[in-house]
Amino acid sequence: MEMQHLKYHMSCCGALLLLCLALAPRQLVLAAPSGPEYLQRGWQRLLEEGESCADCRPEECPPPRGCLAGVVMDHCDCCWECANLEGQICDLDNTNHFYGKCGENLECRLDMGDLREGEVPEPQCMCISNKAVCGSDGKTYPEICKFQEVANARPDAKLNISHEGPCEAAPHIISPPYDIWNVTGEDVIFGCEVFAYPMASIEWRKDGTEMFLPGDDPHISVQFRGGPQKYEVSGWLQIQRVRLTDEGTYHCYARNRHGEVTATATLTVITPDQLNSTTLQLPKPPRHYTEDYSDSEDFDDYY
Ligand SMILES: *[C@@H]1O[C@H](CO)[C@@H](O)[C@H](O)[C@H]1NC(C)=O
Ligand SMILES: *[C@@H]1O[C@H](CO)[C@@H](O)[C@H](O)[C@H]1NC(C)=O
Ligand SMILES: *[C@@H]1O[C@H](CO)[C@@H](O)[C@H](O)[C@H]1NC(C)=O
């Protein structure tokens, strides 16, 4: 009996291997002769468990709990079990003999992106759509699969989708400007990263002045661009060769037609003499604004 099932699994695995060969001949050749690691792990799991599907008694099935990607039938077609989440390894042939099936709105694909030299792609569950959705909780979810994870995690909340695309709302500050200090003559920069739909404008103002920066001050400049994530915009305020008079409190304002938010940070300017005085207690240098904007196509995400 046991042997029979093993044979069944083996032929199944053969089919999977063929499928892999058809889909990714180059990667498999690279990995020869031992085959992709995920397949080896699958074999190992199969041999260790020696599963058997003999008799199905649905009443003895343990009820699956906390399944964030929903439920699917197990490999014996008998019990419900948790489906695999986005990013989890899965069976390419849409069975669940080794790793399981992907949940709703997910499909099992070989991820060819981000592969390093000699690496073999592993099949993993990926969301069929990368479009944002607006939940009935008023929150924007980057894709339907993330929405489902949250909805499954909080069944009592009875979340559903209000509409496709991001929720329209007042901006939300993802990363505020941080307090900074520096020595006169150095350049300083404040950043302000905002999530907003519709797109927000970002403006800067210094305490004690009515005008938005930079005004006509040539040593101050502002920049604004989309990213780093979808539906985000970032603004920067740069002050070149800071002077003592630049010290003060700066505000970042983000505004769209649904509202305005603000975040505040202070700039402390010291002279080189003060820097030398050992009594001065200075905080650590601030975090630097070096996010990776390479994925962002400026404002494309809005249109
Ligand atoms: C979402 O929930 C509301 C009420 O809770 C209901 O009226 C509406 O039909 C639901 N929409 C979908 C798509 O299920
Ligand atoms: C001061 O500014 C310089 C140049 O902008 C920078 O390299 C340095 O880290 C800053 N110092 C502090 C304490 O932030
Ligand atoms: C700071 O201190 C160092 C050594 O203590 C000295 O060589 C340097 O000239 C000082 N700088 C200023 C601006 O006072």
For the chain, what are the domain ranges?
133-164, 172-277
- Distance (angstroms) between ligand 2 centre and the Cα of 183 equals 8
Q: CA 142, 146, 147, 151: dihedral to nearest 10 degrees?
A: -160
CATH no. for 172-277: 2.60.40.10
CA-nearest residue, atom 11 of ligand 1: 160
| Of 119-133, 138-152, 162-176, 230-244, minimum mean pLDDT range | 119-133
Cβ–ligand 2 contact at 184 (below 6 Å): no
CA-nearest residue, atom 8 of ligand 1: 160
Mention every residue, 6+ apart, whose C-beta is less than 8 A from residue 201.
224, 254, 255, 256
- Distance (angstroms) between ligand 2 centre and the Cα of 54 equals 69
Measured between alpha carbons, how far is 174 from 261 in angstroms, rounded to an integer?
A: 11
Residues in the chain: 303
Residue listed under structure tokens 């699958």: 42
- Closest ligand 2 atom to residue 187 Cα is 5
CA-nearest residue, atom 2 of ligand 1: 160
pLDDT tens by residue, 92-148: 877 777 788 999 999 999 877 766 777 778 889 999 998 999 999 999 999 999 999
Question: What's the maximum distance between 2 C-alpha atoms anywhere in the chain?
Answer: 86
| pLDDT, position 281 | 63
Measured between alpha carbons, how far is 196 from 260 in angstroms, rounded to an integer?
A: 10
Question: How many other CB atoms sit within 10 Å of the CB of residue 114?
Answer: 7
Cβ–ligand 3 contact at 273 (below 6 Å): yes
Amino acid (1-letter code) at residue 99: Y
Does the global pTM surpass 0.75? no
